[in-house]
Amino acid sequence: MTHPASGTPVPDDVAIRLVGLTKRFGGTTVVDHLDLDIRKGEFFSLLGPSGCGKTTTLRMIAGFSDATEGSVVLGGTDVTSVPPHKRNVNTVFQSYALFEHLDVAGNVGFGLRRKGLDKAEIARRVTEMLELVELGARSKSKPRELSGGQKQRVALARALVNRPEVLLLDEPLAALDLKLRRQMQVELKNIQREVGITFVFVTHDQDEALTMSDRVAIMNSGVIEQCGTPEDVYERPRTAFAAGFIGTSNLMTGTYSGGELTLAPGITVPLPGHPDLVDGSTTSIAVRPEKIWMYEFEPAMVRIAGTVVATVYHGATTQYLVDVAPDVRVTVLEQNLVRSRNEDRWADGDSIELGWQPDHAVVIH
């Protein structure tokens, strides 16, 4: 997977390899021995809460921050001690960081002028890039005359026009309102497909990471909790943090014994198909709210009794809070397909049964 042993040759399809990358500020370790391979042409997201080290990791890839230990390998070359202006990566900043004294075309052409390309070539590539981000008509505007979404596109164009090996994006959509953000998510993904450049995208927004990425690394306290496709990390979370950070998850902890998990005296959850678990060990399972059924169970499902304590109607769905044991409250999300009217839904205090497919209960390590 993504934990290369240091010293092994970097395969051709790897754009970035991080080997034991560590950053300490004073006594605090912000990034802790990160090992990661990011493949060429991949849309890769670093997802985590603020302070998890995702931005510091990005800054070390860009060269703005020096690694305390470990190395950054870019396209097969160790660039750990190479200054930012000599690295073939470009960054889209959260604040956009546009140059206010230059117009849109001046901003976008800035990197190309530094590279010493001739004027005609710069003009051609700037025009082409502005067309791509649909700002062809604004090339003479100053940044302060643009809206947030337009500034965002200029920042993107300014970075992409240099055709970097890797494009680094530091929460580029965080400053936009929700509607614009959704729109930019789709556009960004389309642009990435079109140009085929490796994108490393830092975000704290799990929706954003899931909808845009080819792969997601969930970071917490300077380490990667889990790395995989959006489906991997959502359907098969490996740690309690991963299960809790992406979407909501029902975490149930108990003592495992003979294919059952005892949550409280007398209350057990069947947990078949885990021969690796040791009898008597404390085990947690995570079940997604939408994977829990409340009626019309299928034969293979495991079942557990519970009491409805709250019902929240969301329009397309209804959310139930169900107590299955003292101190064990489960969230259940039901599509309002058939039972759409209020009188048909469960009410608070109803004794009901919950059920799920055995393989939807993921054992958390």
Partner 1 sequence: MTTLDAAAASSATPSATTPVAPAPARRRRRSVEGRPRIAVAFTALFFVVLYLPIVVVVLFSFNSRKSLSSFESFSTRWYVQFFNDDALLSSLRASLVISGVAMVGSLILGTMLALALERVSSRPSRILGTTALVPLVTPEIVTGVAALLLFTGLGIKLSLMTVIIAEITFSISYVAVIVRGRLSAMSDDVEEAARDLGCTPFQAVRLVILPAILPALVASGLLVFALVFDDFVLAFFTTGVDPQPLPVRIYSQIRLSISPAINAVGTCMMLVSILLIAFSLVVPRLFGRRDSGLDLISGG
- Interface residues toward partner 1, by CB under 8 A: 62-64, 83-85, 89-91, 93-102, 110-111, 114-115, 142, 158-159, 162
Least CB distance from residue 26 to partner 1, whole Å?
12
For residue 307, which of 334, 335, 326 has the smallest C-alpha distance? 326
CB 336 within 8 A of CB 290: no
Strand pairing category for 43-47 and 198-203 = parallel
Identify which of residues 145 and 207 has a Cβ nearer to partner 1 in the complex: 145
Least CB distance from residue 65 to partner 1, whole Å?
10
Whole-angstrom distance, CA of residue 243 vs CA of residue 221: 16
Least CB distance from residue 64 to partner 1, whole Å?
5
Least CB distance from residue 264 to partner 1, whole Å?
52
Q: What angle do the packed helices 104-114 and 119-132 form, to 10 degrees? A: 130
Identify which of residues 94 and 211 has a Cβ nearer to partner 1 in the complex: 94
Identify which of residues 147 and 335 has a Cβ nearer to partner 1 in the complex: 147
Least CB distance from residue 128 to partner 1, whole Å?
18
CB 350 within 8 A of CB 307: yes
Whole-angstrom distance, CA of residue 201 vs CA of residue 207: 13
Identify which of residues 14 and 167 has a Cβ nearer to partner 1 in the complex: 167
Least CB distance from residue 93 to partner 1, whole Å?
4
Instruction: For the chain, give the longest Cα–Cα distance.
Output: 79
Identify which of residues 93 and 297 has a Cβ nearer to partner 1 in the complex: 93
Identify which of residues 54 and 158 has a Cβ nearer to partner 1 in the complex: 158
φ, ψ for residue 284 (rounded to 5)?
Answer: -115, 145
Exposed / middle / buried, residue 50 (Cβ in 10 Å: 0-12, 13-18, 19+): exposed
